[in-house]
Amino acid sequence: MLLQTVRPNIVQSIRAYRVDELLEAAQGAGQHFLYANLTNAQSKQDVLEAIAEAFLFPAHFGKNLDALYDCMTDLVHKSGSQPGFVVVLEQLPDNARFDRESREQLLDVFRDAADFWGERKIPFRCFYSFQ
């Protein structure tokens, strides 16, 4: 099984994995699969809006990194027990409007979410790629 080869609470480059394989692995493990294609995003705001739409965040989502963390952790945690998560952020922007620092800040939110779920013994794996 694909997920057995990946630490349970990690944020990493998608590298050799394919999105369809990750989807199948998540389904096979009974875990949530969250996918955002960010090909059209150019700025931090675009990225946050695309993630919110793809992950079906509530209308009151604040479109900032703190709100993203809250939606990935507390909001979901309060909805009941969770089986685990496989998150794919495909084609993160790589440009002046979403530079390396912005990408690292975004990925830090997902690292913090992985830690949050790890403390609760729930797997949270996030894979990403760049444009």
Q: Report the pLDDT value the prediction gives residue 80, as an integer from 0 to 100.
A: 80
CA separation for the pair 122, 57 (Å, rounded)? 20
Sheet of 85-92: strand order equals 9-13, 124-130, 85-92, 32-37
* pLDDT tens for each residue of 99-123: 999 999 999 999 999 999 999 999 9
Rounded (5°) CA angle 74-118-16: 110
Strands 9-13 and 124-130: parallel
- The pLDDT score that the predictor gives to residue 4 is 84
% the chain with pLDDT above 90: 83
Domains and CATH numbers, the chain: 2-130 (3.30.370.10)
DSSP 2: G
pLDDT of residue 60: 87
Question: What pLDDT does 92 receive?
Answer: 96
Give the pLDDT confidence score for residue 76 in this predicted structure.
79
Residue 48 burial (CB count, 10 A): 21
Q: What pLDDT score was predicted for residue 83?
A: 94
* Sequential DSSP letters for 75-87: HHHTT-----EEE
Q: How far is CA 15 from CA 3, 19, 22, 88, in A?
A: 14, 10, 12, 12
What pLDDT does 1 receive?
A: 63
User: What are the residue ranges in the chain where pLDDT is below 50?
Assistant: none
**What pairing do the DSSP bridges indicate for beta strands 32-37 and 124-130?**
unpaired
